[in-house]
Amino acid sequence: MKKFVSAIIAVATLVLCITLSACATKYVSHYSSSSMVTTGTSDKASLSFGSFSGTYVMKFQNNGADEVYITYEATLGEGNIKVYYDYNDEKLDLFEIKTNGSVDSKTETFTGNKTVYVIIESDGKCKDGSFSFALKK
């Protein structure tokens, strides 16, 4: 009976491990912040904060095989933040913003991936930031 229960537990553990690893995301957010507000849909997202340190990931869905591009706007009161996007499993530079900086632009048009990630990474503690992104066709 002990061997049967041990076998059941081993199978359940194996199924749980396989299930959890299948749900893993490509990028993971890990950060500390204050006064942080986020909004998001499958094709738009924004992030505003009083203070922020770490990495924040936004995930967009390209529904269809259409060409798309990312529009973005950002301001930062204090600190240094680098922003990347993932295209065809390659993490590419999008922009860098520093103290009292602002940016308003868009990427070149690209096709392919159904899922597009935008990764915001701070270089230490940052203050008074606002970021918005949209996936456009």
Q: Which domain holds residue 48?
A: 27-136
Residue 41 within a domain: yes
In-domain check, residue 22 = no
Q: Look at residue 87 and tell me if it is in a domain.
A: yes
Nearest to 129 by CA among 53, 26, 19, 27: 53
Residue 18: its pLDDT value, please? 46
pLDDT tens for the chain, 137 residues: list them.
666 545 555 555 544 444 444 445 688 999 999 999 999 888 899 999 999 999 999 998 887 767 889 999 999 999 999 999 987 788 999 999 999 999 999 998 887 668 889 999 999 999 999 999 998 88
What are the structure tokens assigned to 40, written together?
């998001």
The tokens for 41 are 């849909």
| pLDDT, tens digit (0-9, with 9 covering 90-100), for 93-104 | 999 999 999 999
Contact 27, 118 (CB under 8 A): no
Distance between CA atoms of residues 11 and 41, nearest Å: 38
Q: Residue 21: what pLDDT?
A: 42
For the chain, how many structural domains are there in total? 1
The CATH number given to whatever domain includes residue 54 is 2.60.120.260
pTM, two decimals, is 0.79
pLDDT of residue 88: 76
Q: Which amino acid is at 59?
A: K
